[in-house]
Amino acid sequence: MNAEQTEKLRKLIDKEIEELKLTIERVKDTVQPVVPDDAIGRLTRMEAINAKSVSEATLRSYQARLNKLKSALHNIDEPDFGICAGCEEPIPFKRLMVMPESRMCVSCIENR
Ligand SMILES: [Zn+2]
């Protein structure tokens, strides 16, 4: 990556981290203890419990991505940033713009 690409990617990761933090806050609001039956309205208690576990899974995956993005941001100035961990070829910039946290090129992931 050249310096211009690094800056572009840095801004993108920054933006995604901010957005993800907001999303996590919103999901957290839905992961509250299951409320007593009379407060649920049309939802049955089972449905409420179900919805809660879905939100928790979603929350975990968002938090995992947030951590990956943070470490990408941390490592962006390292010489091996953007180098595939499999074949050690540069990961295409286009791919990094879509998935800045990727550590491998598409073909290495497919061949894993
Ligand atoms: Zn590769």
pTM of the shown model: 0.79
Do the Cβ atoms of 80 and 87 come closer than 8 Å? Answer: no
Residue 38 pLDDT: 56
Structure token digits, residue 68: 């990956």
Q: What does the mean pLDDT of the chain come to? A: 89
* Ion ligand 1 residues within 5 Å by Cβ: 84, 86-87, 105, 108
Task: Give the C-alpha distances (Å, rounded to integers) separating 38 from 32, 34, 48, 52, 59.
Answer: 16, 11, 12, 17, 26
Percent of the chain whose predicted confidence (pLDDT) is above 90: 68
**Ligand 1: centre distance to CA 85 (Å):** 6
Does residue 33 have a pLDDT over 90?
A: no
